[in-house]
Amino acid sequence: MTSRMPAIILLGPPGAGKGTQAKKLEDRFGLVQLSTGDLLRDAVARQSDAGKAAQAVMEAGELVGDDIVIAILNERISAPDCLAGVILDGFPRTTLQAEALDALLRERGDRVDCAISLEVDDEAMIDRISGRYTCDRCGEGYHERYKRPLKDGACDKCGCQKFRRRADDNADTVRRRLVAYHAETADLVEHYDEMGVLAHVDAMQDIDSVQGLLRDLVQPLVTEALGTREAMDVSA
Ligand code: ADP
Ligand code: AMP
């Protein structure tokens, strides 16, 4: 059976380009980007209970506890806008999270349609993270060399002239995030391979070329899910 809600996962180390590509897929296909990193940063900014518990762990470049992250993801994915389909970026990061996601989707009659592994080498990852910054107002992402605003000093999307860097994008923390990735997350590729939904993408290419490869993978999934949805509407 085809999923009613397409669910696509972007896997890859910090700095691979998951957020950049997820936003573009969101714009192109009307899917909803679900970044647990963004959700956690928002929780920290609001100083919610989850945010308070996560803050020091994130600053240290370690993984936030599964219970906290799964609860945050569960709440967000249950919102009505996600019925359009979701692109998960930064989740799951552990086997327990992957199993929780499988169970959560199964309960709704959905499943993971595709897990796309963005492949970059460690050097590129560090280079990408060290030049990363975002618009302070709308969160649009930039890079000092690879993605500069069209007009110097102003965000392409909202015109804001204030930008910021993430507190955890420093050399020490990046090293620890990379260790956490290899220890906890890299094995998930096998989990999705066994499920028969894994795809690999060479993410060493420039942003638009990677986006082209991803669109080729995502387009048929969205078309298929829309077809199923229309069929359900007709028979309802
Ligand atoms: P992730 O979400 O995987 O941590 P981001 O999407 O935030 O990674 O990308 C990290 C940085 O690298 C950003 O500054 C982004 O502009 C830049 N970037 C993303 N993809 C590419 C690419 N294919 N080539 C060069 N730079 C890229
Ligand atoms: P990201 O924005 O994906 O680079 O995540 C930033 C930080 O948030 C990570 O280094 C972790 O501390 C935390 N985080 C984000 N997603 C998860 C997750 N799925 N599981 C555990 N920790 C996470």
- Ligand at minimal distance from the CA of 175 is 2
Are 60 and 176 contacting, i.e. CB atoms less than 8 angstroms apart? yes
Q: Which of 24, 41, 177, 229 is catalytic?
A: 177
Closest CA to 113 of 26, 229, 199, 15: 199
Residue located nearest, by CA, to atom 26 of ligand 1: 146
Mutate to test the pocket of ligand 2, among 18, 42, 63, 179 (most ligand atoms within 8 A of CB): 63
Closest CA to 35 of 179, 139, 160, 152: 139
Give the residue-averaged pLDDT of 108-114. Answer: 93
Q: Is the pLDDT of residue 224 over 90?
A: no
Atom of ligand 2 nearest to the CA of 94: 20
What pTM did the predictor assign? 0.94
Query: How do beta strands 86-89 and 163-164 pair?
Result: unpaired
User: What is the C-alpha separation between 32 and 55, in angstroms, rounded?
Assistant: 25
Q: How far is the CA of 37 from the centre of ligand 2 (A)?
A: 5
Mapped onto helix, strand or coil, the DSSP state of residue 105 is: helix
How many Cβ atoms are within 10 Å of 230's Cβ, its own excluded? 10
pLDDT tens readout for residues 149-174: 999 999 999 999 999 999 899 888 99
pLDDT tens readout for residues 8-61: 999 999 999 999 999 999 999 999 999 999 999 999 999 999 999 999 999 999
pLDDT tens readout for residues 47-91: 999 999 999 999 999 999 999 999 999 999 999 999 999 999 999
Indicate if 132 belongs to the active site. Answer: yes
Indicate if 215 belongs to the active site. Answer: no
